[in-house]
């Protein structure tokens, strides 16, 4: 692990955000490999970390809502066990505060099935401080945007969108997620009703 992935040199909630990214991907690896029991208690590590209004843009450009992600992840318990297992790790994580109560972590996520090429993606995760109504203090995942890293191992995943256009679209998405993240909940509901 490098210093960024461990959160060394970061303060407070920035450190907590990097630690959460690394910790959740440890959970993913253990879940996909069937190393964790398929129980509500084990799955709570994922379930309790996300805001109900969480959204994720996957490298293909599709948007996945929390309910869909939760359902597909729960069904994927042990999926890679029969293939020899998967290794998932985070590199080059960097966190920063983007607005009061909101934090962004950019990192590289790598995955490798036993005997296969590793696949990498750039991930931008948005967190906000959890509401204090009966929940533990800390952060909750609000949004993620992922893009395939350049390289021959990812060629079969990439679409035909020109690189400059893709970067501009990604920057717009990060800004809109950051704005949504920092909105009070009642204002977000009014915005989504329009």
Higher pLDDT, 165 or 18: 18
Compute the average pLDDT of residues 33-38. 98
- pTM to 2 decimals? 0.73
Give me the sheet containing 119-129, strands edge to edge: 63-65, 50-57, 139-148, 119-129, 102-113, 86-99
Residues 154, 139: Cα–Cα separation, whole Å: 31
Per-residue pLDDT tens for 70-117? 999 999 999 999 999 999 999 999 999 999 999 999 999 999 999 999
């Amino acid at each position: 692990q490098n210093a960024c992935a461990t959160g060394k040199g970061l303060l407070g909630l920035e450190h907590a955000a990097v630690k959460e990214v690394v910790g959740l991907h440890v959970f993913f690896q253990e879940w996909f490999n069937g190393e964790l029991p398929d129980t509500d208690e084990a799955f709570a590590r994922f379930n309790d970390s996300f805001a109900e209004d969480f959204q994720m843009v996957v490298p293909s450009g599709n948007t996945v809502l929390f309910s869909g992600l939760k359902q597909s992840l729960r069904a994927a318990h042990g999926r890679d066990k029969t293939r020899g297992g998967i290794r998932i790790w985070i590199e080059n994580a960097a966190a920063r505060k983007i607005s009061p109560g909101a934090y962004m972590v950019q990192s590289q996520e790598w995955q490798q099935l036993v005997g296969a090429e590793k696949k990498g993606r750039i991930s931008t995760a948005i967190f906000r401080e959890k509401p204090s109504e009966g929940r533990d203090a800390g952060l909750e995942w609000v949004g993620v945007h992922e893009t395939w890293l350049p390289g021959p191992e990812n060629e079969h995943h990439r679409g035909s969108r020109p690189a400059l256009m893709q970067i501009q679209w990604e920057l717009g998405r990060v800004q809109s997620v950051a704005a949504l993240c920092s909105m009070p909940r009642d204002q977000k509901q009014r915005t989504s009703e329009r």
